[in-house]
Amino acid sequence: MTDKEQLFMRLIDEHNGMLFKVCRIYQDDDDDRNDLMQEIVLQLWLYFDSFKGQSKINTWMYRVALNTAITFFKKQKRRPDSERLHHIVDQPEEHPEAIKDEQLRLFYKAVKHLNKVEKALIFLYMENQSYEDIASNLGITEGNARVRLNRIKIKLREIIKTFDYEY
């Protein structure tokens, strides 16, 4: 393996969590998430030589991942089986982990109702990006990033309130 390949693989390993979150935000189905992950890694590899160090490597990776996810989402044809019904056979146990998993599931379900820019904003926020970095990544002002994020948080709370769920 060349030095370039080793560096690329190390970067993918270091940022795997971020890449997975992008896939989780833009795709519901496990197979679709895996396909998107493969497409993101491919695009990162194809454009790896184009990274000139003018921004942080993780910022560059965010941009490639988000752009790939948005493009992938647009091109993906809706399949008849994509609107599957999920039946709960057993009630989940009342363990903190089960509750946390359910809350996370509801959060990602609510994120599906956001537009592309809102998804990108909340994703970057979840990655603990500063308002300055979020603004820079999305080409908006820092103040605009703050206002939009506050509105998105309110919108997500309202969306989650509409869900019919039990713990």
Reported as a single tens digit per residue, the pLDDT across 103-138 is 888 888 899 899 988 998 988 888 888 899 888 888
pLDDT at residue 96 is higher than 90: no
pLDDT, tens digit, 9 for 90 and up, residues 14-61 = 999 999 988 888 888 888 889 999 999 999 999 998 888 888 888 889
- Which range (30-34, 86-90, 137-141) has the least confidence? 86-90
- Which range (87-96, 106-115, 145-154) has the least confidence? 87-96
CATH topology for the 1-76 domain: Rna Polymerase Sigma Factor; Chain: A (1.10.1740)
pLDDT at residue 165 is higher than 70: no
What architecture is domain 94-167?
Answer: Orthogonal Bundle (1.10)
pTM recorded for the entire structure: 0.57
Query: Hunting for tokens 């998107």 — which residue is that?
Result: 36
pLDDT at residue 66 is higher than 90: no
Confidence of residue 77 (pLDDT cuts 50, 70, 90): very low
Q: Where in the chain are all domains bearing CATH 1.10.1740.10? A: 1-76
Q: Where in the chain are all domains bearing CATH 1.10.10.10? A: 94-167
CA distance 127 to 123: 6
pLDDT given at position 164: 66
pLDDT given at position 86: 41
Position with higher pLDDT, 86 vs 156: 156
pLDDT given at position 88: 36
pLDDT given at position 16: 92
